[in-house]
Structure 1
Amino acid sequence: MFLSNSDLVELVAFRRQLHRAPEISGAEQETAQAVVRFLMPSKPERIITGLGGHGVAAIYEGAEPGPTVLVRCELDALPIEELSDSEHRSQVPGKGHLCGHDGHMTMVAALSRGLGRQRPQRGRAILLFQPAEETGAGAAAVIADPKFREIAPDYAFSLHNKPGLPLGHVALSEGYANCASRGLRIVLTGHTSHASTPEHGLSPMAAVAWLMPTLTALGPGGALDEEYALVTVTHASMGEPAFGIAPGRAEIWATLRTLTDAQMGSLCERAEALVQDAGQETGLGVELSYHDVFHHCENHPEAVALLRRALDDEKLAHGPTEPMRGSEDFGLFGRQAKAAMFLLGSGEDCPHLHNPDYDFPDDIIAPGARIFMRTLRNLLG
């Protein structure tokens, strides 16, 4: 075990500090600064800041040539009000670390203690604290940043905590790990009229009533295979909050989800065709746009084998898993390196991710850090 009892006390305090001060995607400036302050005592060869926004990367160099191994976590919180009576609950109204990124950061920050005390024998270890994961924009921004050329990893590893999985148990499989998803925003435009003479206007009401169930029927869910598709209507609005005005404008927001990027292309085409048909049938103007675009995440066999070796070395329970329905922009790092993400159980009774009463369990900080550190040592010495 590379972490002392005093390390663990400090890591729990750091995690709770982060939890109290959540910052949402694109606004993680103070969080990034807190991370840098935590990393500084380990004296990395370099700390890159402002990476793809507020991203931070700490570089630890070995004495001999070897591979570059990146361990990645996320900086951002969610725009959700936390409902908790804990002493470390969010102090920022309407925002909370309700996905566990505070815990993920803490596990990766813990690696700085081991790397500070003993550098790799060869190659480089990179600790990456990525911005804007929740919107799907962060990984792309990090990779597009010219400073990322200084990193250029050969391997990339990450994790996500998993409510419902026994505490500390690891789930890991080769192949598809996370679904692709994207938000489709539909704007339908007609024109208003007095509510007493709706025939003088052009209301989107009938189109909205038809589109919501019809879009949902395009993606009913089912087995997580290459034909999997799920469409979830997440928001709808129409007209003004007034009794005297027949509506002239409406919006529908829907999340499209598939196992693969290829299937996502097909689902988008079918959804767009339905919306355009609705516009033509009713004479409404149609505007379509995509938001929060996530590509699918796929685990490389060699990277999975390295994680399994580390789990066996650390004598930690692990087994296979099916892909997560939730999306993760870590998949983009798999286009740059041999990459894999594992799931770390946060308890069978743990509230679900993005729930207002979720809180990352401190008990899995140590096993998560041990898995990453063993993987680094096995690769880099």
Structure 2
Amino acid sequence: MSPEALARLTRLRHELHQYPELSGQETETAARIADELRARDADQVLTGIGGHGVGGIFDSGQPGPTVAIRCELDGLPIQEISDASYASRVVGRGHLCGHDGHMVMVLGVADHLAKARPQKGRVVLIFQPAEETGQGAVAFRADPQFAPIEPDHVFSLHNLPGLSLGEVLLCAGPANCASRGMRVVLKGKTSHAAEPQDGVSPAKALASLIPQLAGLGSGGALNADFALTTVTHARLGERTFGVAPGAAELWVTLRTVSDARMQNLIAEAEGLVTQTAETQGLAVEITYEDVFEACTNNAQAVATVAEACAALGVPCTFTTEPQKFSEDFGQFGKSAAAAMFWLGAGQAHPQLHNPDYDFPDALIPVGVDVFSAVIRSLVG
């Protein structure tokens, strides 16, 4: 990549970084991406896919496979802590997962495709909304606009703090854990604080469930039995001294390597909650949000990435353990040979979702080159 091209993509990354939009609200980001794809002479630009998703198609006009490269549009509801001149200008929101960098890498691939279309088949550049909530990929694939561009091969990356800058990490098989947010609402009956016995308080149930649910999964080795339950929020009654509480709420994140283990963990957690509520004379309501199925890599797609790295001289290592964090990219693997790989953001780099995280611009040319090499190996 020329210094001029890198400088242009870096400026664009900084512009996107200043105006993050939350999951499902990526209106301006999507419009900007669509304009960038049109400026790169994409043969077709699709918008509004699964919400605010965008697809850029570069077609050879010849028979062949469809290869997709996927990235994400959304930011996070976190206040950024940064002295950078391009820091977020939106209070309480930040691109603190690196999706701004991922978008720019895929636009860098579009730069290459604008100069040289694939020799066969076509390339679809997917800019997916709402990754952070787990809803984006499901909605993208369910949209009627997806079926005509459904890929045979699909690739994505995520930058990874803790891994050496510019190093690629690959995993054949389970790549990202399944997870979901379990929301438990306990319903009793309020009473005067002077006469608590005349009400039905969920206090004991809440105090009991917090350690018991946390004890269902303590983490450990990332194998088929892995389970991690993390209590993230709890609320009891109202902020008053005069009323004995009549309701409580508890949020717990469930995490497993496999979808089968997740179903078992759900059954354990729901059984524990139901039994505790019944014992305490409480009604209970259980709902789920931020549902992510496990992400599993296709072995041949992983080999394609490894070969691309070898040809480019990009350091690449393999691991047998998936990442604990979740990714809805696994949805695309239901109908295509899919591979998610990780690109090192630096061993001492702030963690994803930290308020002082920032995507390393040095990764832009690495991501562009690896994606472009993958494309060349499949469609020329």
1:115-264 alignment to 2 at 5 Å? 115-264=113-262
CA apart distance, 1:34: 1.0
Partners of 1:164 and 1:183 lie apart in 2 by 26
CA apart distance, 1:63: 3.5
CA apart distance, 1:4: 2.0
Matched position secondary structure for 1:146: coil
1:1-20 alignment to 2 at 5 Å? 3-20=1-18
Aligned mate of 1:267, from 259, 265, 268: 265
Partners of 1:162 and 1:380 lie apart in 2 by 28
Aligned to 2:378: 379
Aligned to 1:289: 287
Tell me whether 1:339 sits opposite 2:326 in the alignment.
no
CA apart distance, 1:243: 1.1
Which runs of no fewer than 5 residues in structure 1 stay unpaired? none
Which runs of no fewer than 5 residues in structure 2 stay unpaired? none
Q: Which whole-Å deviations, capped at 9, do the CAs of 1:271-307 have from their partners, x for residues lacking one?
A: 0000000111000010000111000001101101110
Aligned to 1:92: 90
Q: Which whole-Å deviations, capped at 9, do the CAs of 1:211-262 have from their partners, x for residues lacking one?
A: 0000011111100000000000000001111111111100000000000001
Q: Which whole-Å deviations, capped at 9, do the CAs of 1:332-360 have from their partners, x for residues lacking one?
A: 10001000000000001110001111000
Matched position secondary structure for 1:65: coil
Aligned-pair Cα RMSD in Å: 0.7
CA apart distance, 1:40: 1.5
Instruction: Tell me the amino acid that sits aligned with residue 377 of structure 1.
Output: R
Partners of 1:49 and 1:233 lie apart in 2 by 38
- Identity among equivalent positions (%) equals 53
CA apart distance, 1:84: 1.1
Instruction: Tell me the amino acid that sits aligned with residue 205 of structure 1.
Output: A
TM-score (norm 2): 0.99
- How many residue pairs are counted as aligned between the two chains? 379
Partners of 1:57 and 1:269 lie apart in 2 by 38
CA apart distance, 1:62: 1.0
Matched position secondary structure for 1:66: coil
Instruction: Tell me the amino acid that sits aligned with residue 267 of structure 2.
Output: E
Partners of 1:243 and 1:83 lie apart in 2 by 37
Aligned to 1:300: 298
Partners of 1:318 and 1:121 lie apart in 2 by 27
Partners of 1:231 and 1:41 lie apart in 2 by 46
CA apart distance, 1:152: 1.2
Partners of 2:202 and 2:91 lie apart in 1 by 35
Tell me whether 1:109 sits opposite 2:107 in the alignment.
yes
Matched position secondary structure for 2:208: helix
1:45-64 alignment to 2 at 5 Å? 45-64=43-62
Partners of 1:175 and 1:212 lie apart in 2 by 33
Partners of 1:20 and 1:109 lie apart in 2 by 18
Instruction: Tell me the amino acid that sits aligned with residue 149 of structure 2.
Output: I
Aligned to 2:325: 326
